[in-house]
Homo-oligomer: A and B are copies of this chain.
Amino acid sequence: MKSKFKYLTIAMLIITGINGFAQTTNQLDLTQYVDPLWAADKHVWLGGHTFTGACVPYGMVKLGPDCNQKTTNSGYDNEGKIQGFSHVHVSGSGGNPKYGNVLVMATSGDMKTKNYGSMRKNELPAPGLFSVNYADYDIDAKFSATHSVGFHSYTFNKAGNANILFDLGSMLVWGQDGHWTQKLVGSEIRILSDREMQGYTRVRKGWGGGDAYTVFFYAIADAPCLKSGTWKSNNIHIGRQVEPDTNEPVGGYFTYNVSAGQTIRLKVGISFLGVEKAKQNLSKELNHWDFDKTVAENRGLWNKELNKIQITTNNDTTKKIFYSALYHTMHQPVNRTGENPKWKSDKPYFDDFFCIWDTYRVTHPLVTLINESKQVDIMNGLIDIYENEGYMPDAWSGNSYAMTQGGSNADVLVADAYTKGLKGIDYEKCLQSMIKNATVPPGEYEKKQGRGGLPDYNTLGYVSTNYERSGSRTMEYAFNDFCIAQVAKGLNKNDIAEKYYKQAHNWKNIWCADMEAFGAKGFVMPRDKQGKFDRTMNLNKIGGIEGWTYEGNAWEYSFFVPHDIKELIKYMGGAQRFEQRLDTFFTKSGRTGHPFLNDYFNINNEPDFMLPLYYNYVGKPWKTAEIIRKTIRLNYTLGLKGVTGNEDSGSMSGWYVFNTMGFYPIAGTDVYLIGTPAVSSSLTMENGKQINIKTLLPKKLKKGEEAIYIQSCKLNGQPFNKTWFRHSDITNGAIFEFVMGVKPSKWATDGALPPSMTEN
């Protein structure tokens, strides 16, 4: 019998069932599909800013190029000179840059303490290995990394004078004296021998305005230098061995007389505690000089992670974007267990939550699916921050609170873990922490911790325009309160649950029912302390750090009731008007890029992440499919410009990963919405069980046709007629079989709608 359909089958995958049989998955080399330069564009709003260098999953050392420290967040710029490779970075961040510490550069000729950068040739980034030719010096440079150690290999193609220098004053900065510009506090260096150097750099601020952090290093080369020296500020000290810290930038260098083609390798151990710990990290993780071995091991770690989702598709572009995206979801938060200089603890320690406002929506739910114990560790790290520093953070970087963006969104992570049944988390303590967020004003400028504008919210039921971001704060706090309520209810604290379920309706307090635009009626609007709405605001005016929202406008934030869309539909005038409103919203969109450049739907803005799937709530999954595919088409491509805005620590990437597989998590709940699978996929969970999504496409498509519409679905062999499922439906493994078609179908148009709070 000849089928009209073909399955996208998983190559070499031994499909496992839902019945608890032992699971085996062949490990593929999936790093081949990863482009570290994907979404690495430097443009301030339109660039992805992903990290391009060498690191292991969640690795502490991120050894990458600092090309133009004045204009990039990740250090990478595809134009101009490479100044050197430094050891600490973040990935995908916006705002003022952070890190770029302990920069190392190899040069030939005279030793220079500044302007030592080089133009490049043959730049080739890959997971676990970044290779490039420093054209100005004709040096072939290669970089790999373990968790805490950067491994450098420099082949000097020209004979003669060659230098390896350490610039401890180098870091990523914007401008000279911005409020959140990174500033050097001090640095120290000591040359220990003709092969060894150690020291630290201490830096303050960066995005979020954190406290001073100190990056210690110990470095060892595999060849003795001819001579060495140091510098402080711009004064070079030939032959000097030490520069004590006088709050100035210092550096040190080794000079060699190399033969043509001579390779010098260098290992640089990093620690946030001290130089001896840096040295210990190095000796524990890298007790050999076999560079290729380290590259292979690094790749092995990445392949292990990437293989947790194996996809089958004939679309090579999709495959490359998918694995490049999946790769970039595992850069942060950084595992810094054993490296916390602020307090001693037996709990895990993760840094660079940058920030949870971005990552709670898809990045952490993805971790929960493929790395559940890591998400448990992350949660325990967050609890530990609460216990030692006072609040769970919304943003935390460089061992400090950074800046809260909107709500107290660690609450969402707690509810997400709780509703999904993650074990090994003290939920009582979590609840304390959530209640603290909801009751104790954080003070001063109200953006470091907890909830800004809380006195208003807890008396008026909304944040008044006396406070900045009053719109997004009100909307997010209402959702956060829903998260608190769920956990309280689960812990049988019914009084607390009742209180916060009630507060989860607070979004209604800034609902201005008679505001109207393009047929849409009812918008959240700025409201003053006396209760008066500001009707003069443009509905599509974008907020901003000091504005009515953090990012987003009244069109976007009026949709932000992820926990109670049933009620939202009522407020928006019923299902039909809700659907029309979505149509208008998506139709008027189109321009891509940063929120400031887009007045309506904008996938680069995290509050919009779930909106394409809102059609599921009115039984129109085929419209969901259309918007998702359009969104991908317009916003995700190969290469440097892979995404159309800041990638945000794995957020844009995570969105792509989920929506390509065909489902989407409603973070803070155990519900997933079904979108439109573009590939067949097999996701292996930590318990060994698999979620297998078989996507059956028509064998032949006419030109321009795309089979984006689900025609039918089976779950574990049984017809499945809903656009959503729960985490418990998949934790013991699941097989979805989707039959796709080129035209909308009636599939799930009459199934049970996804749950909303008001039904509970």
Contacts and interface: CB of A to CB of B under 8 A. Distances in A.
Interface in A449-501: 449-450, 455
A698 interface: no
Interface in A194-230: 200, 202, 204, 211-212, 214
Contacts of A340: 185, 247
A390 interface: yes
A342 B183 CA distance: 11
A129 to B, nearest CB: 29
A214 B342 CA distance: 10
A276 B242 contact: yes
Interface string A385-402: 000001100000000000
Interface string A298-317: 00000000000000000000
Contacts of A200: 274
Contact of A442 (B183, B343, B444): B444
Contacts of A443: 440-444, 446, 449-450
Q: Which of A183, A211, A455 has the most CB of B within 10 A?
A: A211
Contacts of A391: 444
Contact of A276 (B202, B245, B279): B245
A444 B446 CA distance: 10
B183 A343 contact: yes
A389 to B, nearest CB: 9
Interface in A671-692: none
A204 B273 contact: no
5 contacts: A185-B340, A185-B342, A244-B277, A391-B444, A442-B444
A190 to B, nearest CB: 6
Nearest to A272: B245
A279 B244 contact: yes
Interface in A261-320: 271, 273-277, 279-280
Contacts of A61: none
A390 B444 contact: yes
Interface of A: 183-186, 188-190, 200, 202, 204, 211-212, 214, 242-247, 271, 273-277, 279-280, 338, 340-345, 390-391, 440-446, 449-450, 455
A607 to B, nearest CB: 26
Contact of A244 (B188, B276, B440): B276
Q: Which of A202, A204, A440, A444 has the most CB of B within 10 A?
A: A444
A180 to B, nearest CB: 13
A645 to B, nearest CB: 32
Nearest to A241: B276
A391 B338 CA distance: 32
B246 A277 contact: yes
Contacts of A341: 185-186, 202, 212, 214
A445 B389 CA distance: 12
A185 B189 CA distance: 24
Nearest to A449: B444
B444 A212 contact: no
A186 to B, nearest CB: 6
A245 B273 CA distance: 7
A-B pairs with the 5 shortest C-beta distances?
A443-B443, A244-B276, A244-B280, A245-B273, A247-B344
A344 B186 contact: yes
Given A185-B343, A212-B341, A277 B245 contact: yes
Nearest to A212: B342
A184 B344 contact: yes
Contacts of A242: 276, 279
B446 A211 contact: no
Contacts of A344: 183-186, 204, 247
A718 B189 CA distance: 65
A158 to B, nearest CB: 35
Contacts of A190: 276
